[in-house]
Chains A and B, each alone.
Chain A
Amino acid sequence: QKEVEQNSGPLSVPEGAIASLNCTYSDRGSQSFFWYRQYSGKSPELIMSIYSNGDKEDGRFTAQLNKASQYVSLLIRDSQPSDSATYLCAVNWGRDDKIIFGKGTRLHILP
């Protein structure tokens, strides 16, 4: 049973375009959702957290959450070559503090 699913990619997006990353999760009780970015050979770093249905914007990044559809997404506007990385979706499991990660989507921004 897959718990947190992401398309592994690579997702190639032209510089300046919008990159759209998607994630689905299987536990309806999950309450906390996170997007992390991981550069090759580095540790994951937080981009966005979202806890309520709807959109949350932070600079060029927008996280979208739909709990009814068990779906969370990340939009990156005006994509830059420095955005090329693996993006990890993370979800708390049910009402626990256990945080489960998807396998990540590799994003490649084409100059």
Chain B
Amino acid sequence: DAGVIQSPRHEVTEMGQEVTLRCKPISGHDYLFWYRQTMMRGLELLIYFNNNVPIDDSGMPEDRFSAKMPNASFSTLKIQPSEPRDSAVYFCASTWRGRNSPLHFGNGTRLTVT
């Protein structure tokens, strides 16, 4: 089992640029979550999908953020335009049976916006 795979591991970009983060969930998992972690705010839920459909995006901070899941094995989180306050570690996690099963996290993407 390859686990949840995220790319890139690190991303450094300038303010105003578009950033795309990628995630491949564990095969057979039907739930996918995107989280953002900072020292100040901890691990915040941005959005989650069930069977490729976005269920709750209330944590997406603003219209600059968008997420898609075109198929069961791939999801993207896009920030456009990026701002310095978007600097954080972004985690993707997957599970099956929703709340009745624990989350499996990817290694995260550390985003730095200068």
Interface residues of A (CB under 8 A from B): 31-32, 34, 42-46, 49, 51, 88, 90, 92, 96-104
Contacts and interface: CB of A to CB of B under 8 A. Distances in A.
A103 B45 contact: no
Interface residues of B, number: 22
Contact of A43 (B33, B98, B107): B107
Interface string B9-21: 0000000000000
Contacts of A51: 100
Nearest to A97: B98
A98 B42 CA distance: 16
B57 to A, nearest CB: 11
B38 to A, nearest CB: 10
Nearest to B55: A97
Interface in B93-109: 98-100, 102-103, 105-108
